[in-house]
């Protein structure tokens, strides 16, 4: 039987080309990139494949994993892998991989784009202009907040929650704005002497920051990290930015905070019940909302596709993948090897 990789939804040609060159059979569950793959097609695809390439939009839960009797790897084309039941995959001896590193800079860029857009009210003022409402310049037209020190010369404080690859890339960009940077992570990172970053406890960071940006993975411990309690800790002038995962923020509490001006604004790339928005969020003028485009540059998406293909081919050959998220699986007796025998 020919070895088959099932790609849940069409990925960039950069990755598909690699799979073709390797001579494997590729089946794509959904060719239209603006549509999801339906569950029945996903399960049928997994049932008949050796390796699955999934996107963050697919729920690869126990049902999906058990559906694949010969499944010996899941390569997620994303750095986040909260869509996959990794514990069950490990029990079944199935390695799971992700695509870290290649999207770091692109996501940090979007974080800054959102921060600046919200602070200087760019989308709101653009909508006003396009609606034909710009009649005359005025001294109070779309007053925003300074990101750099502004005329006062006072540096603003950026709070980074999650000081991993992306958090650090965001911090590097803050230097150009002469910001004071506070960082928090569950694992305290080494900050070397050249870093202009100060370590802070979570609540201290939240209460002291002018801008707060989230870069932690979604886990049971980080779900609703930003909720009514933490929103009320923020300064009324503060801005929240998230390009990580929607469920980090209690979106209903955020809508209340935006409506009642507990905080000045929020810029979101990700949503709790994506692609749906919490009721009222889209009506908040102090919110900037974009559709999960953190890693959306042509080059980065090509690199993600290539890395997912590398991981998938390694899974297929029974080799250690470049980016396994459950590396312990390789030492388990249940590890699914290409020969089919655990």
Where does this chain bind ligand DGY (CB under 6 A)? 56, 78-80, 103, 294-295
Q: How far is CA 99 from CA 86, 135, 232, 300, 332, in A?
A: 15, 48, 35, 11, 23
Among residues 238 and 312, whose Cβ is nearest to ligand DGY?
312
Which of the following is catalytic: 215, 292, 306, 310?
Answer: 292
Count of C-beta atoms within a 10 Å radius of residue 170: 28
Annotated active-site residue 175? The verdict is no
Annotated active-site residue 328? The verdict is no
Query: In terms of Cα–Cα distance, which of 314, 243, 266, 318 is closest to 78?
Result: 243
Which of the following is catalytic: 4, 63, 274, 317?
Answer: 274
Distance of closest approach, residue 78 Cβ to ligand DGY, in angstroms: 3
Count of C-beta atoms within a 10 Å radius of residue 164: 17
Residue reference for tokens 């998406």: 301
Q: How far is CA 60 from CA 43, 161, 171, 278, 315, in A?
A: 9, 27, 33, 24, 17
Among residues 67 and 78, whose Cβ is nearest to ligand DGY?
78
Distance of closest approach, residue 142 Cβ to ligand DGY, in angstroms: 30
Among residues 55 and 264, whose Cβ is nearest to ligand DGY?
55
Query: In terms of Cα–Cα distance, which of 254, 261, 204, 259 is closest to 233?
Result: 204
Annotated active-site residue 274? The verdict is yes
Distance of closest approach, residue 57 Cβ to ligand DGY, in angstroms: 10
Query: In terms of Cα–Cα distance, which of 185, 142, 139, 178 is closest to 160?
Result: 185
CA geometry: angle at 132 spanning 130 and 138, to 5°? Answer: 100
Distance of closest approach, residue 126 Cβ to ligand DGY, in angstroms: 25
Among residues 80 and 322, whose Cβ is nearest to ligand DGY?
80
Q: How far is CA 23 from CA 7, 12, 30, 104, in A?
A: 15, 18, 21, 31
Distance of closest approach, residue 106 Cβ to ligand DGY, in angstroms: 8
Q: What residues have CB less than 8 Å from 38, skipping those under 6 apart? A: none
Distance of closest approach, residue 225 Cβ to ligand DGY, in angstroms: 17
Among residues 182 and 308, whose Cβ is nearest to ligand DGY?
308
- Alpha carbons 141 and 145: distance in angstroms, whole number: 13
Which of the following is catalytic: 245, 301, 306, 336?
Answer: 245
Among residues 295 and 323, whose Cβ is nearest to ligand DGY?
295
Could you give the residue numbers annotated as active site?
245, 274, 292
């Amino acid at each position: 039987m020919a070895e088959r990789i099932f790609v849940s939804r069409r990925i960039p040609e950069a990755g598909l080309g690699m799979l073709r060159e390797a001579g494997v059979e590729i089946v794509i569950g959904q060719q239209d990139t603006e549509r999801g793959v339906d569950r029945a097609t996903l399960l049928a695809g997994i049932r008949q494949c050796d390796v699955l390439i999934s996107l963050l939009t697919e729920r690869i839960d126990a049902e999906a994993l058990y559906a694949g009797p010969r499944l010996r790897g899941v390569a997620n084309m994303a750095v986040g892998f909260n869509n996959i039941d990794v514990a069950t995959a490990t029990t079944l001896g199935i390695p799971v991989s992700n695509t870290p590193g290649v999207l770091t800079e692109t996501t940090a860029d979007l974080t800054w784009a959102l921060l600046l857009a919200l602070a200087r009210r760019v989308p709101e003022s653009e909508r006003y202009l396009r609606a034909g409402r710009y009649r005359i310049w005025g001294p109070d037209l779309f007053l925003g907040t300074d990101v750099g020190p502004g005329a006062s010369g006072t540096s603003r404080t950026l709070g980074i929650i999650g000081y991993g690859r992306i958090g650090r890339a965001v911090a590097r960009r803050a230097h150009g704005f002469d910001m004071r940077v506070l960082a928090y992570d569950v694992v305290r990172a080494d900050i070397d002497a050249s870093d202009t970053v100060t370590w802070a406890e979570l609540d201290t960071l939240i209460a002291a920051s002018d801008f707060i940006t989230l870069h932690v993975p979604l886990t049971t411990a980080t779900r609703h990290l930003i909720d009514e309690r933490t929103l009320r800790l923020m300064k009324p002038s503060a801005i929240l930015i998230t390009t990580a995962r929607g469920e980090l923020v209690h979106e209903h509490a955020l809508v209340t905070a935006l409506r009642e001006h507990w905080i000045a604004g929020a810029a979101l790339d990700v949503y709790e019940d994506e692609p749906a928005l919490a009721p009222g969020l889209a009506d908040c003028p102090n919110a900037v909302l974009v559709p999960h485009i953190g890693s959306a540059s042509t080059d980065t998406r090509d690199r993600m596709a290539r890395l997912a293909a590398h991981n998938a081919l390694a899974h297929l050959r029974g080799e250690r993948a470049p980016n396994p998220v459950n590396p312990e699986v390789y030492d388990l007796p249940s590890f699914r090897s290409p020969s089919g025998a655990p």
